[in-house]
A = this chain, B = another copy of it.
Amino acid sequence: MATRQKTSRKAAGTAAAIRRPRARAANSRAQSAYAGDDIGLDALIGHAGYAVRRFQLWIFQDFVKTLATVDIRPTQYSVMTVIGANPGLSQMAVAKRLGIERARLVHLLDSLEERDFVSRIPSATDRRSHALHLTSRGKTALAQFKRLAAEHERHVAEKIGNENRERLLQILTCFT
């Protein structure tokens, strides 16, 4: 299936011999102008979801880039932060608090445990659950992650302005 076109290209191919060298100027100009930035978004302009999606994409990319040296992704950072602030939490509690599935948390903790940042200690009161703790290595690591995350947050402030950043945080407190 290395063919490129389903329908039109083949048909066009047969007529290719007849093609004349058209008005290139109109093509290259109109095309690149259109590909530039005069394309209307219509109803998308009024949708918060679209703006938020683009923003979140930008934020995640900057976060990943800023913490690339320590190889920590946003979700991993959020898990370690919550465990650090609330030692002994169960996986269920962490998942609920962060709005991630407990199935997903399993793999996240697996990776964090492999790197010796987090340890699952069998709960003393419930043999089903684990008490989550940062290792000593995890604690010092998290301190560095927080410094880098603060740097990332400064990037956000530079991008949208710090007063807008704070306003945004305030608007969205009901989701955190």
Contacts and interface: CB of A to CB of B under 8 A. Distances in A.
Interface of A: 8-9, 12, 16, 19, 22, 26-27, 30-31, 34-35, 37, 39-60, 63, 74, 78, 81-82, 84-86, 89-90, 92-93, 96-97, 99, 120-122, 125-127, 129-130, 146, 149-150, 152-153, 156, 159-160, 164-165, 167-169, 171-176
Contact of A125 (B27, B59, B82, B122): B27
Among A59, A60, A146, which residue has the most Cβ atoms of chain B within 10 A? A59
A63 B22 CA distance: 45
Number of identical protomers: 2
Given A52-B52, A55-B52, A47 B153 contact: yes
A59 B48 CA distance: 8
30 contacts: A12-B122, A27-B125, A27-B126, A30-B125, A31-B125, A31-B129, A35-B90, A35-B93, A39-B86, A39-B97, A40-B85, A42-B84, A43-B146, A46-B169, A47-B149, A47-B153, A48-B59, A48-B165, A49-B63, A49-B74, A49-B152, A50-B78, A51-B172, A51-B176, A52-B56, A52-B59, A52-B168, A58-B175, A167-B167, A168-B168
